[in-house]
Amino acid sequence: MEASSGEILAANRAAEDFWGYDAADLRGRPLSDLVDADSVEAFLGAAREGRNFAANSVTIRQISGASHVVTCAARAVHGAWALAFREPGRIGPAHELRRLNYALNAYARSSAALMQTGETRSVMEQVCRAIVGQEVYVLACVALPAADGAPWLDYAAAAGPATGYLDGLRISASAELAEGQGATGMTLRSGAPHLIRDTRKDASYALWRERGARYGVRSMVSVPITVAGATVGALLVYAARPNAFGPTELNLFWRLCQAIGLALTMEQDRRRLGQAEEARRLAEARASAANAQWQRVSRLSFIGEFAAALAHEISQPLGAIEINAQAGLRWLHRPAPDLGEAGAALERIGRDAKRAHEIVARTRAMYRGETAAAPFDLREAVEDVLVITRERCANDRIALEVALEDVGLVLGDRIQAQQVVFNLIANAADALGDVSGRPRHLKVTIRRQGDKALACVEDDGPGVAAEAAERLFDRFFTTKPQGLGLGLPLSRRIIEAQGGRLWFEPVKPQGARFLFTLPLA
């Protein structure tokens, strides 16, 4: 101690335990930080006069804010002053206390690592058990504000022979309630430790005196637990003897409370992380919902594309109906009405109207909910399509070769699968339209392949250029002047939606082959 300024030059381990500051932290501090002003004044006066100093009731203030009355003796050592502080009237033999100190110290040091990983509650319980391992302490507990907002504190952890003391114990943090006027209440509000040195004498313990007497509680201390500077709870330690808490013990409890605070901070961090994780999961769920939305939209646009194609298709029979009606009237209005021709026109009107209806029915099928996968006979479905396409092939002088194996039932949407087959045949016929001077061949086959049905539409037309082959299934890619570039991408989507695959293979020396699979039912 440097006398002129009252600044601390050095401090030993005992001083660290006494005040709770590290030795390094104590160095350079004014004595007035640690000891009451009157005592500082008295000491400095004595020092200036070069005489030794001794006082029986010096009040020290700990890092935790707790105060203790101790004795102090100061003497000059090599131009500085050595001050020795001693606790007066300690209970119990010195070696017992030392053992306690060691045990708690060891615990405090080792627990830091433990608290980083352990559950807060189990950390609290371990702390409490460690404290009551000393028989002078009959109860140690951690009190936290009730999660449900009730005025009474919860006891998150407790240990010791007097645990029954807590049954029905009402302590509050509120200044408004009588139960908030005890040591614990004050600690929770002030953030500083509070001591009840003797439960029989301390007025602030009056409310619990009877209970204390039942469990043999003679002194107690409440030490604040803080998280990020805020007091969130208190460690309560009850002793069987009065005045059982010296500055050293209080400092140990203070450190333990910091460890508990750290554990709580960790837990909050983990919870925050958990919330972040939850937020991430939520975002993912939202993204997947967006994906579903996208799929719905793409399905809608698919339906839109299909509707456009069907609208084009339906305009054909409607146009034919209109022209037939006009032609029919002209046959009737001739000088000699030709009833035969007029009748034929009417028949065509009926037939074309039926075709228009079929297209409308197909459109409806496209609009109904999800893809309706049901077992159907693929051979029969393809044969139906061939009925429609045979005429086109005959008109275009295309030699149609059909080899339909009985593959049994496949799983999928019959109408959509037919649309794909129709599309592939129409494509092949279009490609063959460019062929002149040699026969044109179109081959439609289906066969079984493992657990799938394999359908194949092959032509010996000009085939597909390598660079075009790569883009065949891109939307709006087309090599046809009148093409929309939708047929193949739509067909692929239809087949894939039904658990199949659709792909292209070039044919040597010329031609194109489109294949698709559908799962067997």
Among 109, 121, 280, 397, binds other proteins (CB under 8 A): 397
Compute the distance between CA of residue 272 and CA of residue 278 in angstroms, rounded to an integer: 9
Among 52, 293, 316, 510, binds other proteins (CB under 8 A): 316
Does the footprint of other proteins cover residue 482 (CB under 8 A)? yes
Looking at residues 399 to 438 of the shown chain, list those that interact with other proteins (rule: CB under 8 A).
429-430, 432-434, 436
Does the footprint of other proteins cover residue 510 (CB under 8 A)? no
Q: Which stretch binds other proteins (CB under 8 A): 22-30, 114-122, 131-139, 348-356?
A: 348-356
In the complex with other proteins, the residue whose CB is nearer, 78 or 438, is 438
Q: CB 466: neighbour CB atoms within 10 A?
A: 8
Compute the distance between CA of residue 234 and CA of residue 244 in angstroms, rounded to an integer: 18
SS (HEC) of 356-381: HHHHHHHHHHHHCCCCCCEEEEHHHH
504 in Cβ contact with 469 (< 8 Å): yes
Compute the distance between CA of residue 234 and CA of residue 159 in angstroms, rounded to an integer: 15
Burial of 465 (0-12, 13-18, 19+ CB in 10 A): exposed
Among 110, 291, 301, 315, binds other proteins (CB under 8 A): 315
Q: How far is the CB of 392 from other proteins (least distance, A)?
A: 7
Looking at residues 435 to 454 of the shown chain, list those that interact with other proteins (rule: CB under 8 A).
436
Q: Which stretch binds other proteins (CB under 8 A): 62-70, 203-211, 395-403, 509-517?
A: 395-403
Instruction: Dig out the tokens for 123 from the structure.
Output: 């950390």
Compute the distance between CA of residue 425 and CA of residue 502 in angstroms, rounded to an integer: 14
Among 7, 36, 154, 338, binds other proteins (CB under 8 A): 338
The residues, any chain, with a CB within 8 Å of residue 327's CB and separated by 6 or more, are 341, 345
Does the footprint of other proteins cover residue 312 (CB under 8 A)? yes
Q: How far is the CB of 304 from other proteins (least distance, A)?
A: 18
**What single-letter DSSP state applies at residue 520?**
B
Size of the site for other proteins (CB under 8 A): 39
Compute the distance between CA of residue 301 and CA of residue 490 in angstroms, rounded to an integer: 11
Q: How far is the CB of 511 from other proteins (least distance, A)?
A: 15
Compute the distance between CA of residue 170 and CA of residue 153 in angstroms, rounded to an integer: 7
CB-hemisphere CA count at 13 Å for 303?
15
In the complex with other proteins, the residue whose CB is nearer, 347 or 470, is 347
Does the footprint of other proteins cover residue 117 (CB under 8 A)? no
In the complex with other proteins, the residue whose CB is nearer, 217 or 321, is 321
Among 241, 392, 441, 475, binds other proteins (CB under 8 A): 392
Q: CB 323: neighbour CB atoms within 10 A?
A: 14
Does the footprint of other proteins cover residue 481 (CB under 8 A)? yes
Among 185, 224, 317, 463, binds other proteins (CB under 8 A): 317
- Residue indicated by tokens 């404290």: 131
φ, ψ at 363 (rounded to 5°): -60, -45
Site string for other proteins, 350-379 (x = CB under 8 A): -xx--x------------------------
Does the footprint of other proteins cover residue 327 (CB under 8 A)? yes
DSSP assignment string, 140-196: EEEEE--TT--SBPEEEEEESTTGGGGTT---BS-TTSGGGSSHHHHHHHHSS-EEE
In the complex with other proteins, the residue whose CB is nearer, 181 or 324, is 324
In the complex with other proteins, the residue whose CB is nearer, 328 or 412, is 328
Q: How far is the CB of 394 from other proteins (least distance, A)?
A: 9
CB-hemisphere CA count at 13 Å for 117?
4
In the complex with other proteins, the residue whose CB is nearer, 202 or 459, is 459
In the complex with other proteins, the residue whose CB is nearer, 154 or 396, is 396
**What single-letter DSSP state applies at residue 95?**
H
Among 82, 114, 323, 409, binds other proteins (CB under 8 A): 323
Interface with other proteins (CB under 8 A): 312, 315-324, 326-328, 330-331, 334, 338, 341, 344-345, 348, 351-352, 355, 391-392, 395-397, 429-430, 432-434, 436, 480-482
